[in-house]
Structure formats: C-alpha cells, structure tokens
Chain A
Amino acid sequence: MGLTGYLLLAAALFSLGVFGVVTRRNAIGVLASVELMANAVNLNLVAFSRHHAGPTGQVFALFSIALTVAEVVVGLALVLLLFRAKGDVRIELASELKD
C-alpha cells in the first residue's frame, strides 16, 4: 500500500479528532479526541519515514508520543483541578477566558 493511502487514513483520523474536540462536552472526551489527532500525526510521520528516508521520521514520532504522554498527564491534572473546583468536568465550565 502506498504513501497516499496512509496519509488519507491519517487525515480522516485527524478530522475525527477535530470533530471530537469541538463537540465533546466532557473534558476527558476532549482529551481523548486530542489523542486521536496526535495519533494521526504519528501515523503520518511513520509513513513518511517509510517512504522517504531514514530514521528521522520515526524519531520524531517517538518524540511526539512522549510529548503526548506529557500532555495527557498535565491535561488530566487540569481536569482533576477543574473537577475539584467546579464539581464537574464539563468543559464550558472553564470559561474564565471570558474576561
């Protein structure tokens, strides 16, 4: 299977992630959607590495995975904080951005 197929697969996965990020109400749901997007990116990186050249793509994918882990950790911590503050984790509760 060629590169194009993998890229299209990743694009589809990414789009699903976008959909989830803007529609899910629960913060953990949003987090899961973000994971989908990150996963799509990793898929891209590995596919490029396979069809293009050298280990750099895989190295980046590894970095990306590690970063995602860190992000999940911090994200979950924030979710916990939100829960403790508001008693719920619906994401619209965190609307402090509005002045």
Chain B
Amino acid sequence: MSGEQVGFWVVALAILGAGRQVVTSRNLVHTVLWLAVTLANTAVAFVMLEATFLAAVQVLLYTGGVLTLMLFGVMLTTRDTGFVDVRSPLHRGFAGGVLAAAVMALVSASILRTPLPEARVTAPTTEALGASFLTEHVLAFEALSLLLLSAVIGAVVIARRRDAGDPREERGPAIRPRAPRAAGGAVRLGAPEAE
C-alpha cells in the first residue's frame, strides 16, 4: 500500500466519519462544526488531487465564510432550545436510510460498471485555471458574479426586518397564514368568487 493510498483512506475515513456526525448530531452547533471538519478534509483530498487553488478556496470560502455564517444562523434561531434539534421519528430515519442506501447502491454500481481511466493526466496549473476563467468561461464567470450579487440583494430583501411601523411585524408573523387558497386552477374552479 503506497503512502498515497494510505493518505486517501485516512482522508476518506475522516470525511465520511465527520459527514455521519453532520447528519446525525443532535446539537446544531456540533453539526456545523462537524461540517467544517468534513469540508476541511475535502480540501485535503483536493490537495491530493493536485488542485491546490481549489483547496485554498474551499478552506477560505467554506470553512471560513459559509460556516461562520451558518453558526450565526444557528445562534440566532435555536438559542432558546439550546441548539438542540428535534429527534426525527424512527420510521423517517429508517426510510431515509433505505433511500440513502439505494442511492449509494445505484451510484456505486454505475461507477463500478463503467470503465474509467485510472491513469492521471497532468494537473492543470492555477495559471491555466485563471486563463480559462477569463477566456473560455468568461460569460459564465460574469453571470456568476451577477448571481452572487443578486443572491446578496435577495438575501437582504428576504431577511430584512419590516419597518417598525408595519403592524404585521408587531404581531410577529411576517407571512400571515393565508386563507386556504387554490394552488392549482382545478381547485379554484370549485370555489367561485362572488361577484
């Protein structure tokens, strides 16, 4: 077993172990922290795949940015319950397990049945990456920046507190539970509006 293979197994075990904690941990703060472990280990896997730039981005963006954000989220919303998630009913967990197993089975079966090139090619340099960004994929790049911008704006708009004067805000719910309404037309047909 070469050193590289050993490294792979270690990283794989770390990723999967941490991932298991992410989906099962009761404490949400723990969940987020385990997620950080998973992502960091993925960054290690990236390094092993000689994608160093990506690994850096992964660590900076994910572990640095996103997880902090998620921690904020957890702190803000589950403060009262002690960061503890409600337990799922057993049948739900069982069904989820079956589904996950099925996904795993199908995907791995597909992978194993497909003849894959095992030999490595030269890893692209960061320079090549940058060049590719600004030439071949420049349109997608720009579109992405627009998307990020709109996501930020959208997030602000969605999460923004209503003005204090808004009476709806005083009562709490910003989205009032509306009267049962037709989602599709067929139902609406049955409830004639009085004219």
Residues of A at the B interface (CB closer than 8 Å) are: 1-9, 11-20, 22-29, 31-33, 35-36, 39, 42-43, 46-47, 49-56, 58-59, 61-63, 65-74, 76-81, 83-87, 89-90, 97, 99
The CA of A7 and the CA of B180, in the complex, are separated in Å by 46
Residue ID in chain A nearest B187 by CB atoms: A99
Residue ID in chain A nearest B93 by CB atoms: A23
CB-CB under 8 A for A62 and B85, given A11-B107, A19-B97, A32-B70: no
Establish whether residues A70 and B174, one from each chain, have CB atoms under 8 Å apart when the complex forms: no
24 A-B pairs with C-beta separation under 8 A: A2-B116, A7-B111, A11-B107, A12-B104, A13-B16, A19-B96, A20-B22, A24-B88, A29-B31, A32-B32, A33-B22, A36-B22, A39-B42, A42-B42, A50-B120, A66-B148, A69-B61, A76-B159, A77-B158, A78-B158, A79-B73, A79-B77, A99-B181, A99-B187
CB-CB under 8 A for A32 and B111, given A25-B85, A51-B116, A58-B124: no
Establish whether residues A50 and B35, one from each chain, have CB atoms under 8 Å apart when the complex forms: no
Establish whether residues B66 and A35, one from each chain, have CB atoms under 8 Å apart when the complex forms: yes
Residue ID in chain B nearest A39 by CB atoms: B42
Establish whether residues B51 and A58, one from each chain, have CB atoms under 8 Å apart when the complex forms: yes
Chain A neighbourhood of B124, CB < 8 A: 49, 54-55, 58
Establish whether residues B38 and A7, one from each chain, have CB atoms under 8 Å apart when the complex forms: no
Chain B neighbourhood of A20, CB < 8 A: 22-23
Establish whether residues B23 and A33, one from each chain, have CB atoms under 8 Å apart when the complex forms: yes
- Option from A42, A43, A50, A79 in Cβ contact (under 8 Å) with B50: A50
Establish whether residues B66 and A72, one from each chain, have CB atoms under 8 Å apart when the complex forms: yes
Establish whether residues A89 and B77, one from each chain, have CB atoms under 8 Å apart when the complex forms: yes
- Chain B, residues 111-148, CB within 8 Å of chain A (1/0): the string is 11000111111011000110011000100100010011
Establish whether residues A15 and B49, one from each chain, have CB atoms under 8 Å apart when the complex forms: no
Establish whether residues B181 and A73, one from each chain, have CB atoms under 8 Å apart when the complex forms: no
Establish whether residues A47 and B66, one from each chain, have CB atoms under 8 Å apart when the complex forms: no
Establish whether residues B112 and A50, one from each chain, have CB atoms under 8 Å apart when the complex forms: no
| Nearest chain B CB to A7 CB, angstrom units | 5
Chain A neighbourhood of B172, CB < 8 A: 84-85, 87
